[in-house]
Amino acid sequence: MNFRYRLMQFMYGRYGTDELTYALFIFAAILSFVNVFLRSLILQLIVYALVIYALFRVLSRNPEARRRENRFFKEKVRFVKKQKEIYENRKNDKLHVYKKCPDCKAVLRLPHRIGTHTTVCPRCGKEFKVKVRK
């Protein structure tokens, strides 16, 4: 009980763990596993740096800075997940084909009709040819 009380006293006012800390530890564990086979000094130093930075975050007394870092990390993860979801939806959509306008780079959702077609971009108004196969 005495150790637990002292640990609680030590951690009082410190930031603790969050999603970024868990991600840093998991990434360090994965790199460490890869390094078992590669035996690279540089990779091992990167693992040490990640673990030290994760521990620094856990023991930090500046919670606002750690919250900003975690918020930035969560925004990037959310962006990647959203892009993956968009890609999966497009891949599974058999009724439409997605093409970029060569002028303004807007992504157009066109009906899946095999052959060469002329289409007009609704954003810039440019007319261009689209080839649809299979």
**pLDDT tens per residue, range 56-113:** 999 999 999 999 999 999 999 999 999 999 999 999 999 999 999 999 999 999 999 9
Extents of the domains making up the chain:
1-92, 94-134
Please give the average per-residue pLDDT across 13-20, as a whole number. 95
pLDDT at 76: 98
C-beta separation of 79 from 67 below 8 A? no
Burial of 24 (0-12, 13-18, 19+ CB in 10 A): buried
What would the pLDDT profile of 97-128 be if each residue is shown by its tens digit? 999 999 999 999 999 999 999 999 999 999 99
Angle, alpha carbons 94-98-101 (nearest 5°): 165
C-beta separation of 10 from 60 below 8 A? no
φ/ψ region of 101 (left if φ > 0, alpha if ψ in -120 to 50, else beta) reads beta
φ/ψ region of 115 (left if φ > 0, alpha if ψ in -120 to 50, else beta) reads left
**Whole-prediction pTM:** 0.74
Residues pairing with 132 in the sheet: 115
pLDDT confidence tier of residue 134, bands split at 50, 70 and 90: confident
Tracing tokens 């410190």 back to the chain, one arrives at 14
DSSP structure class, residue 114: S
What would the pLDDT profile of 35-51 be if each residue is shown by its tens digit? 999 999 999 999 999 99
